[in-house]
Amino acid sequence: MQNTTTFLRLTYCGELLTVAILAAIFETDMLPVGTIAIEETQEYVFSLCSVIITLISIPLALKLMTFKRVHALVQQSEQHYRTWALLRIVLLSVPLIYNTLMYYLLGFNTSCGYMALICAVSFFFIWPSDGKMRYERESFGNQEES
């Protein structure tokens, strides 16, 4: 159990560190801000994609362990839990990285910035711990059957 939690925490922190490094690279002008020079309609499409992937991934990541099929697998073994918890981290980190990149590449696009902020806040709800792992492996199935 401790091994799984440690692995998930390292992955979790690694994803947040990746975003922090990415932001630091742009903030220190190692990479120029606004490098993608595109038309307004193309920028709108990038912003729309940002909103769509964020609105899909956050609820999916936060609710993932309560799906009956996922919960049944998670109850079987700790390895299944590790896989699904890792998927949950990835579901939040992909839009976080995308939104952060688009924020800087599009020249401080505010909608991408807000979506990145929302993803970053959502990250705090999936912090891996032993207690959370026990709860997610046991409790959700009992709640749904009642």
pLDDT of residue 138: 85
pLDDT of residue 140: 58
Answer yes or no: are the C-beta atoms of 46 and 54 closer than 8 Å.
no
Distances in whole angstroms, Cα of residue 132 to Cα of each of 7, 44, 91, 145: 14, 39, 18, 20
Predicted model pTM = 0.89
Distance CA 64, CA 3 (A): 22
At 145, the pLDDT band (50, 70, 90 cuts) reads very low
- Sequence spans of domains, the chain: 2-137
Local structure of 112: helix, strand or coil: helix
